[in-house]
Structure 1
Amino acid sequence: MKVACVVEYDGTNFHGSQYHPTVRTVQGELNKAIEVIFKRHLKTDMAGRTDAGVHANYQVFSFDRINPRMTEKNVKEALNSILPEDMRVRDVWFTADNFSPRVAAVKRIYQYFIYNRKEKDIFLRKRAWWFPYELDIEKMREAASYLEGYHDFTSFVSKDKHDDRSPMRTIYRIRIIRISRFIMVRVEGKSYLKRMVRNIVGTLVKVGVGTWEPSYVKELLDMKDRSKAGATAPAHGLYLYKVLFDEKFSKE
């Protein structure tokens, strides 16, 4: 049986989510806490990687359940008693032996927050992208509609010589909503490529300020050229909001 746990974290002081032996990461901190509790190293898997500075409301990790006496509540409380203050386990459930959060995920939802005011708010400097210029939400929505569906997202992927995955991806839906002082870009898809969501946001902002017409985004898909799209939006505005799984692995 596997333990599945939902972890939220402030990504400000992490060098990303994936374990690295020489820098502080989310997976590294979780691994240390698990080793303290269970007195042995246990392999952990996660639903998806987040870059340095990116936050998560709902990252999902799994590891083997080796102590049958511990309840879900016990595991949650034990982890939270050890994890650092910029991480917290939100939920724990026991699931099937073959559960892999990366493979079992059917949808991943990201939310990007833009603080759209003339004056900077220093308390939001690591929580949202401060953008002081007016943005045309309707044009951004029109542009985003071209990205929904199954496409080659080469123009929206930051190159990585170690990543040979196909650029073909499906975006189920993109919503752009003004919430008081913020503009939220919500992207729903099954899987993503390196900095794909942040590159999409950077491009939509270019449309929002009038640099490009919404139809240019459709042209970008056909160009398959990263250099023709917008700059990468800052990491601190991005949140992994939710991961959804097949029913057989979800918490009852």
Structure 2
Amino acid sequence: MQRIRFLVSYDGTDFCGWQRQNHSPIKSVQQVLQDGLEEVFQEKITLCASGRTDAGVHALGQVCHFDTSRPVERLENWDMAWAMKRQLPRSISIKKAWLAPQDFHATLSATRKTYRYLIHYNPRESAFLTRYAHWVRKPINVEHLQASSQFLLGKQDFKSFQSAGTPVKTTIRSIYKAQWEWRRSDLLQFTITGNGFMKQMVRNIVGTQLMLEKQGLAPETLQEIISAKHRPKAGPVAPAQGLYLMRVYYPQDLDNRCREI
């Protein structure tokens, strides 16, 4: 069996999330991709991704892998992204593909991830941004948001941002970057990089920071919320449409052993 790694982007608006849902009338990104791969490869495909994204969440850099019995010589000079184009809706696009070693695993080999959250600040909602950013009408104190985000950095227990019903072995995570900045006068972005994130963790963090800013509470309050290790102490979850999985990182030696096709 030959392992194939590929990079995919998608607009998550019309999907029930990444993971295949057997009883959902709305398709998942995984289901659409897996069905397309099985049509192209004419065999049963088991698809793995770096992680699950929720309904309405987008990805610019989701990483996946699967195994195929197709001979390597038939894959080496083959444009998989082009071959899959007919099988996918315009809201899903395969950007690159590689022949990967068997010890590459999209989920288990990942060392860190970067997410981005977009906020559209304007008195009127945009018909073009409503699917891709969280709309906020009132002015935002970005200095306040940036000040509170510094308390996210480092290795800490983020249990306060763990959504209910999402059991994990540990709620301790390391955050390497947490930055707010204006992309343009009406579009604010939050970028966060860490070694892993729990379900809705980024959206819970954003929702909490916006709550503190809106209520005029000191940025240091975020540290108190983290120390509490209690979800009710934190703020509401931010809407899904503003969140993007931007990049997944892997060890350099694994990247070097992947050959682009």
Does the TM-score normalized on the shorter chain lie above 0.5? Answer: yes
Per the TM alignment, residue 209 of structure 1 is displaced from its structure 2 partner at its CA by: 2.5
Per the TM alignment, residue 164 of structure 1 is displaced from its structure 2 partner at its CA by: 3.4
1:59 aligned residue: 62
Note the aligned Cα RMSD (angstroms).
Answer: 1.4
1:185 aligned residue: 190
1:134 aligned residue: 139
State, as a whole percentage, how many aligned pairs show the same letter. 30
Is 1:122 the counterpart of 2:127 in the alignment?
Answer: yes
1:174 aligned residue: 178
Whole-angstrom distance in 2 between the partners of 1:88 and 1:2: 20
Per the TM alignment, residue 211 of structure 1 is displaced from its structure 2 partner at its CA by: 3.1
Does the 8 Å CA contact 2:117/2:242 hold for their aligned counterparts? Answer: yes
Q: Write out per-residue CA displacement over residues 157-178 of structure 1, whole angstroms, 9 at most, x where no aligned residue.
A: 1111x52331111111101111
Q: Which runs of 5+ in 2 are unaligned?
A: none
Q: Compared with structure 1, are the counterparts of its residues 83 and 214 closer, same or farther at alpha carbon in structure 2 (3 Å cutoff)?
A: same
2:245 to 228, 233, 240: 240
2:50 to 47, 52, 61: 47
2:31 aligned residue: 28
Does the 8 Å CA contact 1:73/1:92 hold for their aligned counterparts? Answer: no
- Structure 2 counterpart SS, 1:61: strand
Per the TM alignment, residue 70 of structure 1 is displaced from its structure 2 partner at its CA by: 2.3
Whole-angstrom distance in 2 between the partners of 1:124 and 1:106: 31
Is 1:163 the counterpart of 2:164 in the alignment?
Answer: no
Moved over 4 A (4+): none
Q: Write out per-residue CA displacement over residues 5-48 of structure 1, whole angstroms, 9 at most, x where no aligned residue.
A: 10100000111101222331111111101110111111111001
Does the 8 Å CA contact 2:45/2:68 hold for their aligned counterparts? Answer: no
2:17 aligned residue: 16
Per the TM alignment, residue 145 of structure 1 is displaced from its structure 2 partner at its CA by: 0.4
Per the TM alignment, residue 77 of structure 1 is displaced from its structure 2 partner at its CA by: 1.3
Whole-angstrom distance in 1 between the partners of 2:229 and 2:93: 39
Q: Compared with structure 1, are the counterparts of its residues 98 and 57 closer, same or farther at alpha carbon in structure 2 (3 Å cutoff)?
A: same
Does the 8 Å CA contact 2:158/2:173 hold for their aligned counterparts? Answer: yes
Moved more, 63-72 or 39-48: 63-72
Whole-angstrom distance in 2 between the partners of 1:196 and 1:137: 20
Whole-angstrom distance in 2 between the partners of 1:62 and 1:235: 25
Is 1:80 the counterpart of 2:85 in the alignment?
Answer: yes
Amino acid at match of 2:245: L
Whole-angstrom distance in 2 between the partners of 1:105 and 1:174: 19
- Structure 1 counterpart SS, 2:128: helix
Whole-angstrom distance in 2 between the partners of 1:79 and 1:107: 28
Does the 8 Å CA contact 2:225/2:234 hold for their aligned counterparts? Answer: yes
Q: 1:86-101 alignment to 2 at 5 Å?
A: 86-101=91-106
Is 1:103 the counterpart of 2:117 in the alignment?
Answer: no
